[in-house]
Amino acid sequence: MHSKKTDVFETMTSKITNEFPQYSRIHANWEFVLTDKKTKQVKNTKQFQIMAIQNDDKKHKHIGIIISELSNEYVQLPDLVAKFLLELEKYTDSSVDDIMKDEKIHDMPTFEFTKNVYLYTDKLLVSEDALYKYFKKYDLILQIRVAKPNLSL
């Protein structure tokens, strides 16, 4: 009898949908490339999903990150959040340009970033305290949602 391994992205997207039922989402699939420090060879890649969780009525957005397990690569996340927000801005601006052509766009809704970053993961390999402090240095408010807390930390 085969047991289908649950897809972390599917499971966590479902949790996000339950937590933010009235919000729309825009996501991108990215990956960390983990290299050996000495040889510089790629040892592994770790896929993750980053998304804007937008409240269309209140015109604000949060960022969500889904990753199966998080370890030392967490130090890259604040920069990746900033990069994703810039990508969204470019996408929105170009879409608006395409739609509006030469018309003025004063009343186009902009979504204010709340600074909330929701981290959805199956497993943390670093302490929650270290994560909270690190994100705070970047003026971000981390919200951790761990499916299986690692009690050894």
**pLDDT tens digit at each of 153 positions of the chain:** 433 445 888 889 999 999 999 899 988 999 888 777 788 787 778 899 999 999 989 999 999 999 999 998 999 999 999 999 998 887 765 544 444 444 444 344 578 999 999 999 999 999 999 999 999 999 999 999 987 655 544
Q: Which pLDDT belongs to residue 105?
A: 41
Which two tokens mark 50?
């980053």
Helix residue ranges per DSSP H, 1-153? 8-19, 77-100, 128-137
Predicted TM-score (pTM) of the model is 0.79
Q: Sheet containing 141-146: which strands, arranged edge to edge?
A: 24-35, 42-55, 60-70, 112-124, 141-146
Of 84, 66, 76, the C-alpha closest to 131 is 76
Question: Are 122 and 149 within 8 A, CB to CB?
Answer: no
The residue extents of the domains of the chain are 22-101+108-146
Q: Which pLDDT belongs to residue 104?
A: 40
